[in-house]
């Protein structure tokens, strides 16, 4: 299970998560990590697209704690239905929703954590962060770290399948 922050503009209109450039980045990283996208349940911690209008454009606004908590029941319901072996939180909003408290990505990255019910959980960056990095070397390094984070989850999945 992969959990993002909230739908973006195009995702909101399409009714599917991760269909914009961040979704293509995620697809590429999943493929490199050995996780078939069609075998992963992809969702968001916050189910609505929070935005502000700028002319005719809808610009993303970060969800607040109240919105994260109000949408948590939907994420928990999805988890109860899917019963994932491992969950990857893509970004701080997703991590907060899964753990029920703020999580510092830099401290939690690269570790296999456990949720209260024992489910393996991993925390990494949101793929949209990679799109905002301008320096080519920095972007390549962060992308490799992102793939490494996904590979940790892939190892748990491989053990489960064996």
Asked whether the beta carbons of 157 and 86 are under 8 A apart, the reply is yes
Residue 87: domain span: 2-161
pTM value surpassing 0.85: yes
27-31 contact pairs (CB < 8 A, 24+): 29/127, 29/143, 29/146, 29/147, 29/150, 30/150
CA pair distance 124, 104, nearest whole angstrom: 10
- The CATH number of whichever domain residue 63 belongs to comes to 3.40.470.10
Tens digit of each residue's pLDDT, the chain (162 residues): 999 999 877 787 788 899 889 999 999 999 999 999 999 999 999 988 765 777 887 676 788 889 999 999 999 999 999 999 999 999 999 999 999 999 999 999 999 999 999 999 999 999 999 999 999 999 999 999 999 999 999 998 888 776
Please state the domain count of the chain. 1
């Amino acid at each position: 299970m992969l959990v993002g922050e909230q739908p973006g503009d195009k995702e909101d209109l399409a009714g599917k998560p991760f269909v914009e450039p961040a979704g293509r980045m995620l697809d590429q990283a999943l493929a490199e990590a050995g996780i078939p996208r069609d075998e992963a349940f992809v969702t968001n911690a916050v189910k609505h697209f929070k935005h502000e209008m700028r002319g005719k454009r809808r610009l993303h606004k970060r969800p607040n704690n109240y919105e994260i908590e109000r949408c948590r029941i939907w994420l928990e319901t999805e988890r109860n239905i899917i019963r994932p072996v491992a969950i990857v939180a893509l970004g701080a909003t997703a991590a907060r929703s899964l753990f029920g408290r703020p999580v510092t990505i830099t401290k939690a990255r690269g570790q296999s954590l456990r949720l209260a019910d024992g489910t393996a959980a991993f925390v990494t960056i949101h793929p949209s962060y990679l799109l905002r990095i301008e320096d080519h070397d920095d972007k390549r390094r962060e992308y490799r770290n992102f793939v490494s984070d996904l590979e940790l989850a892939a190892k748990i999945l491989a053990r489960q399948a064996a």
